[in-house]
Amino acid sequence: MRRDDVLVEDIRAACARIERYIGGITRAQFIADEMAQAAVVREIEIIGEAASRVSARIRSDHPEVPWSVMVDLRNFYIHAYHAVVPAKVWRTATSLVRRVHSDVTSMLFDDDPEDDEADI
C-alpha cells in the first residue's frame, strides 16, 4: 500500500499537469481539443483514485480538501465516460483542480513547529 505522502504528491502532480495542459488556452479551444480533454480527464481520474486511497486520518485532518468530490468525479469519468461534458471538465479543471492543487501543496509543505522542536 502506498503511503499518504506519496498519494498526496500524486494528487499534486496530477493537478500541476492539468494546469500545464490548460495553461494558455481558452475554454473554446479546450472544448475543440479532444486530446486536451482526454488528458485532463485522465489526470482527474488519477486524482480521484489517489484520493480514494488516502487514509481516513489524513482525510479527517484535512477537511478543507474535497476528498469525496474527487473520488466521485473519478468514478463518474470512469463509469459514465459517455456522459462527460467538455465544458464541465473545463470548469472542474479551472476551479476545483486549482483549489485542490493549492490545498495539497499546503499539506505537503506545511511546516509543523512541533516537528522542528523534535530535531533540537
Q: Which residues participate in catalysis according to the annotation?
A: 74, 79
Half-sphere exposure of 37 (CA within 13 A, CB side): 16
Half-sphere exposure of 66 (CA within 13 A, CB side): 15
Cell numbers describing residue 6: 506519496
Nearest Cα to 11, choosing from 39, 53, 56, 72?
53
CB-based burial of residue 44 (10 Å sphere; 0-12 exposed, 13-18 middle, 19+ buried)?
A: buried
